[in-house]
Amino acid sequence: MTRVVAEGLSKSFFRGPEEKKVLEGISFRLEPGQFLAILGPSGCGKTTLLHVLAGLEDGRGRLSLEPVPKLGYVFQEPRLLPWLTLERNLAFVLPRPDGARVQAWLERVGLRGFGRYYPHQVSLGMQQRAAVARALLIEPTLLLLDEPFSSLDELTAQQMRTELQGWLAQTAATVVLVTHNPLEAAYLADRVLLLSRSPTRVLSELEVPFPRPRTLEAPELWRFARGLVRRLEAGV
């Protein structure tokens, strides 16, 4: 499985001679199988950080992914191929045909019977569920999630969080989740990285002090999530 070591990651964008600093000296370490949630203000660079981890953006600093990961990525938008059905979108990422596996994952994300529909024929939430299934189907060693449940209604989102938690219990994948939902971070993650406003730096990194399995009804989970919000508001 994949170990992630980030040391002093920085990223700027340029418009002519003007430099816009987005990330400034971001450092953290993830051992194989750990789950890190990233929380921060809107527009602070959380997605950019995920892009750097995935190799979609360059950046300064040191980034080590060892061994080279099998990468699963769920973007904020589904990014399905519009000319392929849902089942063919999933099959596209497999090295060889495996219809039973594709159908099993469609069922796990609540899309049984919709495999032959095209993306434009189903809702945005259903498209996103297919995108989550596509990422998990390959059994990634490093899973990057960029607000994967934000387009879903809360009931479906919670079902998907539970499904993700169950799948991760059966694998040693390393996971990085970007979210605006502090309760989601507390429910799913081992650690939470709190980021400042842009240019983004690490405010703090906190362990989630609750054993698994967790329940969203637990008062201590809500208190912990509220504490994350207070830390973000205070900028510490």
- Confidence label for 101 from pLDDT (cuts 50, 70 and 90): very high
Sequence letter at residue 189:
A
Going through 122-224 in order, the beta strands assigned E by DSSP cover 142-146, 174-178, 191-195, 202-207
Percent of the chain with pLDDT over 70: 100
Closest by CA to 174, choosing from 76, 40, 69, is: 69
- Write down the pLDDT at residue 3: 95
- Write down the pLDDT at residue 198: 84
Strands 142-146 and 174-178 turn out to be parallel
Evaluate whether 180 touches 110 at the Cβ level (below 8 Å).
no
What one-character-per-residue DSSP string does 100-150 give?
HHHHHHHHHTT-TT-TTS-GGGS-HHHHHHHHHHHHHHT--SEEEEESTTT
Q: State how far the Cα of 34 lies from the Cα of 42, in Å rounded to an integer.
A: 25
Q: What six digits make up the tokens of 109?
A: 């994300």
Q: State how far the Cα of 4 lies from the Cα of 83, in Å rounded to an integer.
A: 35
| Vertex 145 angle, CA 62 and 81, to 5° | 110
pLDDT at 149 over 80: yes
pTM above 0.75, yes or no: yes
Among all chains, which residue has been given the structure tokens 């479906």? 156
**b/e per residue 65-93 (b: at least 16 CB within 10 A):** beeebebbbbbbebebeeeebbbebbbee
Domain boundaries, the chain: 3-70+142-234, 81-138
Evaluate whether 189 touches 36 at the Cβ level (below 8 Å).
yes
Q: Average pLDDT of the chain?
A: 92
Closest by CA to 157, choosing from 130, 184, 185, is: 184
Sequence letter at residue 70:
K
Pick the CATH number of 3-70+142-234 from 3.40.50.10420, 3.40.640.10, 3.40.50.300, 1.10.150.20: 3.40.50.300
Question: Tens digit of pLDDT for each residue in 5-22?
Answer: 999 999 998 887 888 899
